[in-house]
Structures are given as C-alpha cells and as structure tokens.
Amino acid sequence: MSLLIVGSVAYDGIETPFGEVDRILGGSATYISLTSSYLTNHINLVGVVGKDFSEEDIDIFRSRSINLDGLQRDESGNTFFWKGKYHFDLNKRDTLDTQLNVFERFNPVIPENYRDARFIALGNIEPSLQEKVLDQVDNPRFVVMDTMNFWIERTLDALKKTLQRVHLLVINDSEARELAHEPNLIKAAEKIMDMGPRALIIKKGEHGALLFTENEIFSAPAYPVIDIFDPTGAGDSFMGGMLGWLAYTDDITPQNLRRSVIIGSVMASFCVEEFGPGRLTNLSEKEIYDRYREFRELSEIPEIS
Amino acid sequence: MSLLIVGSVAYDGIETPFGEVDRILGGSATYISLTSSYLTNHINLVGVVGKDFSEEDIDIFRSRSINLDGLQRDESGNTFFWKGKYHFDLNKRDTLDTQLNVFERFNPVIPENYRDARFIALGNIEPSLQEKVLDQVDNPRFVVMDTMNFWIERTLDALKKTLQRVHLLVINDSEARELAHEPNLIKAAEKIMDMGPRALIIKKGEHGALLFTENEIFSAPAYPVIDIFDPTGAGDSFMGGMLGWLAYTDDITPQNLRRSVIIGSVMASFCVEEFGPGRLTNLSEKEIYDRYREFRELSEIPEIS
C-alpha cells in the first residue's frame, strides 16, 4: 500500500557526549521515510527544502527509492536548521539554535498522484498544516500523527480538531500527561482517545511504549541499548518503522498494531546507534527481523503450568 | 522449601490524595511475608516489635500461617513508626515522621529451627545486619536482598561486603544508578553484577522491572493500574511474591526467575489497591493466576510469519 509522509526535512547540528556534527540531514519526514523504506514501497514524501539543500542528500532519499515529487525546493532561503545539545544521560537536550528558514512558509501541497494514499504519516508540524494535508487526500485507511508540547501549549484548538480526523496518535509520555491534564498514563490515554483517535501510542523512551486500542493495552519493552550514540530521530524512526509495517501488511488489527510497535522500536534502536540517519542507510532485512526476535525474547513471559 | 524473611515490622501513618490512616500495620518483613504466604508454606519471619504491638496485628500473620518464632517483642519501647505523605501523582512521597523505637536496637537472631532455610529474603535493613543474618544460616540456596539510597550513601563498604554473599539484588532504578555511578541502566546493571550478585532486578515503578541474569535480560511490564490507592509496600510485595514463587517451585533457572518477577509484579499490583496491607489479607489463588495471565497478554509480541 502507498504511504504518504508529510513533515520537516532539515539540517541538524548535534552535540552529544560522544562527539558533534555541524550539519547533517535531519527532520521528521527524513527519518520517517528512510525507516519505512525498509518495509514497504511506494513511499511519497511531502516537504520543503531551501536553496542550500545538497544533491548528496537528495541522493540519500533516491537510494532508498523514496518518491520526491512532493518535495518542494524554495530558492528564496535556506533549509530548516536545528541545533541541539544532549546532556550526559542523553535523556535531556537543549535547543541551541532554530532557524525555520523556508519551513516557516511551508504549505503542504499533495501532488495529484499521492492523493489516493492509503496510509498517511503526519510528522510533527503545526496542527493546521496537518489538517490541510487531510483536506487534500481522498479516503485514507489509516492516518497517524505526531505532535509535541509546543503545539499542545499554543494551538490546542487546532490540535483537537486535527485529532478528530486521525486514527492513531503517537506522542511521548510527558506530552500525553500535558494533553490530558492527568499524571496517570492509563487515565491520560482514556482521555486522549475520547478526543478522537481510536488508537494511541505513548512512547516512554528507555522504558518502551504503550499501545492503546479499543479494548486492550500492549506494553512494549525498550531495546537494551548500551551505547546510544545520538538519540536524534528516534521518535520519527519509530513512527516510520511502524507505518512502513502497517502499509506493507495492509492490516490494522490490534495484533498487527502490536507488531508495528515492535518494528518501530526496532528502527528506533538502530537509529540511535550512529549520528543522524547514518545507520538508516545501510540496514539489512536480516538485521531488522533478528532484532524483532530479540524483542520477543526480551519480553517473553513463560506460562505457568 | 522454607523461606526465611528478615526485615522491619512497623506501624505506618499514610496520607495519600485519597485518604489517610494514622496507624496501620507495615514494614518490609510484613509485606514480604504476607505476599509470599499465598505461594508457599514454611514462612519464617524474623523481626522486632515493641510493647504497643497489638494482638490483632499478630493475628494477621497467624491467619496466613506465618511462623513467628523469630519475631522478638521488646517491651522497652514502641514499634518502629513511619509516617509519609504521597504527592498528587503518587510517584513521590515525603517522610513526615520516623520513630525507630525498638528497631534501633534490632539484633536479628535466627532461631535454631530456621537455620536450614533454603530461600532467604533480606528486607531493607542496615547491610551489616543483613550480613549478620547470613552468618547464622547454614547453606542457603538463594539469598535475595533489598537496599536503599540511605545505605548506599552511608554504609557503602558494608553494603558491598553483603552484596558478595547474595544471589539476587532487588533495587529501584534511581538506586541502581546511584550504586553504579552510571545513568544508563543497562551499564549500571553490569557494574552492579560485578559487585557480586549473579542476578539483579531493577524496579521501575510504573514502567515495570528489568531482570538481569548471566546471559539475558528480561523486561517485565507494569500492570496498568488505574486506581492506585496507596503505593506503600509495593516494592516489598514484589519481593515477597517473587521469593514465594521461587521457594514454592525450588527452581532458580532464568526462565523461572522470569515467572517470579511477574508473580512479584502481580502481588505489587494488588498491594496498591487498598491502604496498607489490606488487600493482601483476602486474595484468592484464582485472582493471582488470572492476573498473571493478564500480564502475559499485556506484553505478548506476536510472531512475524
């Protein structure tokens, strides 16, 4: 099934305790499309880059057969740039610089040949833009969106409006608590699902993720990564792996959503092993499925006879 | 197999957002013995109470067939008293009052008929007292100990000495990070196992628990409790359920340690449903095993065909 991905394409500057890079390919649409490309074909990216965007970085998408008909090039400015620095324990980061550049005027236009997309990933962009995407597509089977504290705090009404049109929301635990005004995650999940989405994933970083569907909860473990090199893009890689799997199998049953959460976790665990999207350009199918099996072993509860 | 439990027997005053009690039975040995009593027989408790300890509370232990030959009564003072207040989200608590009373002079004496205990639970008491217990027992098969930040900060040498004589250490995530001087839990676990214990459980509260054995890691989910009434005793209930299961099955393979972690999680999830040990006096075997199955369903990762 075809997968439409809308989000940011960016350059990131990253400092971690293990090194730094001045400028490396980044952005939510980048991570989502690279990771999903290992699972399914017909990946269509919608985003915007500036006049400084390099041919080498275009080639990274091309090498993964990602369709770039929807990638606008705005010659009036530079590509969105973000710079951040991670703390010693990698769980916290400070933003050192944000230059929206051409992203500030981003107006997602969905090319004609993308409008019948069955699966849609709405990366973390302004909720009104996410809704604009949905206005341009025909009859998607499954829409997944990401958001962040920034939008919860500043554009809550628009966010709630968009939420009514998506099937699955993916957010992290602090965002879930903030959106629901509720410290207990299980109660927060109930409140958020009352806002529209019929499924919800709460990402908990080193503690794994929770998937809520109508009648059940699935608790996914985190991969025990010893050497996290750079956490940038882990959340988007999760979303890409998950959606890639759903689009590939065209199956949105709770059982298969569980599988998609683990595939997402697998891709996130690879993402953090190198700076930027480095590890996401050379994965093998065997590595992906081997790690899936590791997740199964990690959390297997033996029966009691 | 017989199970020897050494720890505190106390009265607790508890304030939560849902109510308060002035004085209710508490203490690590109390919670460990009550929970393990649902899983195995021959439970032998060693602790101390003061002149104020009531016959009704003695009856609670008796009703669960817990052997009290090792429960000293010190008429020179009152029972250990602790009072705490939980914050709105129940993850944090402030200690409002601590009266050690007779517990300050506690000298664990293991009765002759307990010395051949095969399984030993060393509740959270001073490390040198934990070691004193081990000096008095014959040849235990499996020794499990708990500890806390207080001992890590004040009696680290004694703690490390005791650690060399135990098979399994059970601590929470912040304690593990502090003991190992390492923010990454997986690395922290490696460092702690180098200190002696050949197995380690790191409890993560609402995020479940991690079990480390020689060659594998097991990630256990937390039960999605919506209405946590009172978290007091949850960690000790975990330890009691776990040890009760191990003593009952007399099986310390990694597979069975996984089961014990889930049984422990089951008992902790019951513990928090009522004030103090209230819920731990009226459980049925069916409730326990039903909840075990719920844990299995909660974390089941379907195969990929």
Cβ within 8 Å, pair A208-B216? no
Q: Which two tokens stand for residue A42?
A: 């017909």
Per-residue pLDDT, B36: 98
Q: Is the pLDDT of residue A89 over 90?
A: no
Nearest to A303 by CA among B289, B250, B216, B41: B289
- What are the distances in angstroms from CA A162 to CA A29, A168, A271? 19, 11, 29
Per-residue pLDDT, B227: 78
Which of helix, strand or coil describes residue A225? coil
Q: For the residues B64-77, what does the mean pLDDT come to?
A: 97
Cβ within 8 Å, pair A206-B185? yes
Q: Parallel, antiparallel, or unpaired for β A209-212 and A217-220?
A: antiparallel
The pLDDT tens digits for B174-186 are 999 999 999 889 9
Nearest to B45 by CA among B2, B11, B81: B2
Nearest to B231 by CA among B37, B88, B67: B88
Average pLDDT, chain A: 95
B89: closest chain A residue by CA: A183
The pLDDT tens digits for A258-282 are 999 999 999 999 999 999 999 999 9
Domains of chain A: 3-298 (3.40.1190.20)
Q: How far apart are CA B262 and CA B245, in angstroms?
A: 10
Interface residue B59 vs chain A (CB under 8 A) = no
Going through A76-188 in order, the beta strands assigned E by DSSP cover 80-86, 93-99, 119-122, 142-146, 168-172
Residue B278 to chain A, least CA–CA distance (Å): 23
Q: For the residues A176-188, what does the mean pLDDT come to?
A: 93
Per-residue pLDDT, B229: 86
Q: For the residues B68-78, what does the mean pLDDT come to?
A: 97
Going through chain B in order, the beta strands assigned E by DSSP cover 3-6, 10-16, 19-26, 43-50, 67-74, 81-86, 93-99, 119-122, 142-146, 168-172, 199-203, 209-212, 217-220
Q: How far apart are CA B148 and CA B184, in angstroms?
A: 19
CB < 8 Å to A289, chain B: 304
A299: closest chain B residue by CA: B219
Residue A82 to chain B, least CA–CA distance (Å): 26
Q: For the residues B255-259, what does the mean pLDDT come to?
A: 98
Average pLDDT, chain B: 95
Q: Is the pLDDT of residue A90 over 90?
A: no
Q: Is the pLDDT of residue A226 over 80?
A: no
Interface residue A292 vs chain B (CB under 8 A) = yes
Interface residue B186 vs chain A (CB under 8 A) = yes
Per-residue pLDDT, A229: 86
Q: How far apart are CA A220 and CA A208, in angstroms?
A: 5
Share of chain B above pLDDT 70, in %: 100
pTM of the model: 0.93
- Tokens 């010693």 — which residue? A88
Per residue in B37-69, is it b (16+ CB within 10 Å) or e — as a string? bbbbebbbbbbbbbeebeeebeebbeebebbbe
Long-range (24+ apart) CB contacts under 8 A made by B54-58 are: B57/B25
Q: Is the pLDDT of residue A136 over 80?
A: yes
Pick from A89, A208, A299: which is nearest to B183 by CB? A89
The pLDDT tens digits for B172-226 are 999 999 999 998 899 999 999 999 999 999 999 889 999 999 989 999 999 997 7
DSSP annotation of A212 reads E
Pick from A91, A217, A259: which is nearest to B298 by CB? A217
Per-residue pLDDT, B19: 87
Which residues have CB under 8 Å from B274's CB, separation 6+? B229, B230
Per-residue pLDDT, B228: 83
Q: How far apart are CA B166 and CA B168, in angstroms?
A: 6
Q: For the residues B23-37, what does the mean pLDDT come to?
A: 98
Scan residues 257-276 of B and list those with Cβ closer than 8 Å to A. Answer: 258-259, 262
Q: Is the pLDDT of residue A305 over 80?
A: no
